[in-house]
Amino acid sequence: MPELPDIIVYLEALEKRIAGERLERVRLISPFLLRSVDPPLEAVSGRRVTGVSRLGKRIVLALEGDLHLVLHLMIAGRLHWKPAGATVPRKNGLAAFDFHSGTLTLTEAGSKKRASLHVVRGTAGLQALDPGGIDVLQASVGEFARALCAENHTLKRALTDPHLFSGIGNAYSDEILHAARLSPLQLTRNLSDEDIVRLHDATRRVLDEWTERLRDDAKGDFPEHVTAFREGMAVHGRFGKPCPVCGARVQRIVYAENEANYCARCQTGGRLLADRALSRLLHDDWPKRLDE
């Protein structure tokens, strides 16, 4: 799923291309993409783009007349900038947004169509879609601590909760926790003040560093290689590979459709976290520590 660094780079690319441009029409290829009925989608045609912003992991195109197009790419949705009037791919195309300067297309890989488009009116319409998480790049240590400890969750769950923090998902939460040297299963209310300061610093540092990396990768072009698995990541997507800090093999725990990747030596004092499926299967044979 595109997360905060990816969304920021998308927004910067869109700002350069469509700010002040007139949206000529929207070609809706998949009717399941549109999740709102009032205002109708036809109401946006012919209106100029007055701003580009984000709402959590959602991309917001503000239009004349206080209307907003709100796109949520979910896991496999991706944006592409094409020449004006470009054909939408038949296999995975969902929609096209036509401007005089070019066409923004939305595609989604896979059979599960989860991406969404809302047309909303005014601030109230946007607020209804806002999960309410704080902007971690702007939040003070105190604001960060209050959101983090609002409920007693694991760090992995807390960082990826959009009601607590805006824009962090599975990939960058792994990277943040590795940088902070904290276990993904550490409970938030068991953190020391020092842990919270270190996590706050790691969160901002990791997100800022990756935003800069993605900007450099795009080289001013529209970002076309948005993925959750990046060369240079410390632990995410690197199960079984050496940790770049200590050389120990990266571990993972799998749950539902997600997983957490971590370094046992750097983050858990050498203790292996129990994967529900494997630990139940192996029972007493499940290794408890890295050296086993």
Mean pLDDT within 113-117: 94
- For position 285, what pLDDT does the model report? 47
| pLDDT class of 33 with cuts at 50, 70, 90 | very high
| pLDDT class of 130 with cuts at 50, 70, 90 | very high
Neighbouring CB atoms inside 10 A of 209's CB total 14
Give me the residue label for tokens 């195109």.
61
Nearest to 148 by CA among 116, 191, 180: 191
pLDDT tens digits along 77-103: 999 999 999 999 988 999 999 999 999
Share of the chain above pLDDT 90, in %: 87
Q: Check if the beta carbon of residue 133 is closer than 8 Å to that of residue 164.
A: yes
Which tokens in the block code for residue 264? 């046992």
User: For residue 34, what are the β-bridge partners?
Assistant: 117
Q: Check if the beta carbon of residue 116 is closer than 8 Å to that of residue 33.
A: yes
Tell me how far CA of residue 64 lies from CA of 40, 103, 119, 123, 212, in angstroms. 15, 19, 13, 13, 31
| pLDDT class of 279 with cuts at 50, 70, 90 | very low
Higher pLDDT, 182 or 276: 182
- For position 228, what pLDDT does the model report? 85
Is pTM beyond 0.95 here? no
| pLDDT class of 11 with cuts at 50, 70, 90 | very high
Q: Coil, strand or helix: which one is 277?
A: helix
Domains located in the chain, CATH noted:
4-127 (3.20.190.10), 141-285 (1.10.8.50)
| pLDDT class of 286 with cuts at 50, 70, 90 | very low
pLDDT tens digits along 241-263: 999 999 999 999 987 677 899 99
